[in-house]
C-alpha cells in the first residue's frame, strides 16, 4: 500500500516537473508572444531574486561577538548602555525606563564611562579601534553628539596602534585610561587634547576591565592565570 502511494507521489512529482519545464519553455517557443505574457516573466524574475536582499534591505553588519567590559553606566537619572549590534549608545531615563536618546558611535561599542563631571560620555568601539567622545553638557550646542574620536594609527603602515579597546575609566576629569586588549597595554589619555600621552605595558594577556580607586589603576585581564594553554602541536605543554 505504502509503495503504491509512493509511486503515485513520484508520478505526480515527475508530472509537476514536466509541467514546469513546459511552462518555462512556452514563452520561448511562441515567438513574438513574450510581450503578451510579461507578467509571467516578471513574476519569475521576482521569485528568483526574492531571497537576495536588495541594497535597501541590507542593514548593519555581521555580528562580531565582541566581549564587554563595562557596558552600562549611570549618571544623574540617566542610564547609558552600549547597544553593540546597533553601534549606538542608548540613553535611558531611569524613572520612565524609556530610551530617550540613541547616539551613533563606532562599530561594536563594548564599554562606556561617564567623565566625573558628567559633561562627557566615552565609549570604546572594539572593532573600530577607537573611543567615541560624546558631549553630555546640557548647555552645549553639541549636546548628545560625538565631538571627538580617539584612535591611533601607524603613519607608515596605516595599521592601528589602538587595537581592540575594552574598558574606559577616568582618573578625574583630566585623565582617562583605555585597555587595549589585544596589545596588552593600557593607553593613558589626556582628556583635554584627546591625545595618548603614554601606554602602560600590562604583564598579563588581554586586559579588559579596569577601575581607579585611591590613586591606583586596577586592571583585570582575561587570559592570564587561568591555566589554559594552546598547544599548537609544537611539543610538550609546559603548564604555564
H-helix segments, the chain: 2-29, 38-49
Q: Shortest CA distance to 217 belongs to which of 170, 184, 182?
A: 170
The CB-of-164 to Ca ion minimum distance in angstroms stands at 5
At which residue does the C-alpha cell 511552462 appear?
23
Of 89 and 106, which has the nearer Cβ to Ca ion? 106
- CA dist 24 and 35 (Å) reads 15
Q: CA-CA distances (angstroms) from residue 101 to 91, 92, 108?
A: 5, 7, 18
Of 65 and 141, which has the nearer Cβ to Ca ion? 65
Cell of 7: 509511486
With contacts defined by CB under 5 A, name the span among 27-35, 124-132, 188-196, 197-205 that binds Ca ion: 124-132
With contacts defined by CB under 5 A, name the span among 37-45, 77-85, 100-108, 156-164 that binds Ca ion: 156-164
The CB-of-87 to Ca ion minimum distance in angstroms stands at 15
Q: CA-CA distances (angstroms) from residue 64 to 72, 113, 153?
A: 19, 22, 22
Q: Is residue 163 close enough to count as binding Ca ion by CB under 5 A?
A: yes
The CB-of-69 to Ca ion minimum distance in angstroms stands at 16
The CB-of-177 to Ca ion minimum distance in angstroms stands at 19
Among the listed residues 108, 129, 185, 206, the single contact to Ca ion using CB under 5 A: 129
With contacts defined by CB under 5 A, name the span among 36-44, 48-56, 151-159, 161-169 that binds Ca ion: 161-169
Distance of CA 109 to the CA centre of its chain: 6
The CB-of-218 to Ca ion minimum distance in angstroms stands at 25
- CA dist 66 and 64 (Å) reads 5
The CB-of-160 to Ca ion minimum distance in angstroms stands at 6
Of 120 and 164, which has the nearer Cβ to Ca ion? 164
Q: Shortest CA distance to 137 belongs to which of 122, 120, 149, 123?
A: 120
Size of the site for Ca ion (CB under 5 A): 2
Relative to beta strand 109-114, strand 130-135 is unpaired
With contacts defined by CB under 5 A, name the span among 14-22, 160-168, 171-179, 232-240 that binds Ca ion: 160-168
Q: Contact residues for Ca ion (CB under 5 A)?
A: 129, 163
Amino acid at each position: 500500500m505504502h509503495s503504491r502511494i509512493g509511486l503515485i507521489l513520484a508520478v505526480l512529482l515527475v508530472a509537476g516537473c514536466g509541467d514546469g519545464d513546459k511552462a518555462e519553455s512556452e514563452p520561448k517557443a511562441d515567438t513574438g508572444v513574450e510581450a503578451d505574457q510579461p507578467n509571467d516573466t516578471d513574476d519569475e524574475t521576482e521569485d528568483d531574486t526574492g531571497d537576495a536582499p536588495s541594497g535597501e534591505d541590507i542593514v548593519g553588519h555581521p555580528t562580531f561577538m565582541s566581549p564587554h567590559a563595562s557596558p552600562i553606566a549611570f549618571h544623574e537619572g540617566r542610564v547609558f548602555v552600549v547597544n553593540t549590534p546597533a553601534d549606538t549608545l542608548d540613553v535611558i531615563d531611569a524613572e520612565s525606563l524609556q530610551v530617550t536618546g540613541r547616539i551613533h558611535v563606532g562599530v561594536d561599542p563594548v564599554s562606556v564611562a561617564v567623565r566625573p563631571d558628567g559633561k562627557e560620555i566615552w565609549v570604546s568601539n572594539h572593532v573600530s579601534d577607537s573611543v567615541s567622545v560624546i558631549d553630555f553638557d546640557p548647555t552645549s550646542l553639541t549636546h548628545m553628539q560625538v565631538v571627538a574620536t580617539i584612535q591611533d594609527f601607524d603613519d607608515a603602515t596605516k595599521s592601528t596602534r589602538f587595537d581592540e579597546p575594552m574598558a574606559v575609566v577616568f582618573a578625574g576629569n583630566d585623565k582617562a585610561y583605555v585597555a587595549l586588549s589585544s596589545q596588552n597595554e593600557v593607553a593613558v589619555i589626556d582628556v583635554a587634547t584627546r591625545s595618548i600621552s603614554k601606554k602602560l605595558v600590562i604583564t598579563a594577556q588581554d586586559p579588559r576591565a579596569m577601575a581607579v580607586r585611591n590613586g591606583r589603576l586596577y586592571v583585570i585581564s582575561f587570559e592570564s592565570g587561568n591555566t589554559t594553554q594552546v598547544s599548537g602541536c609544537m611539543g610538550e605543554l609546559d603548564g604555564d
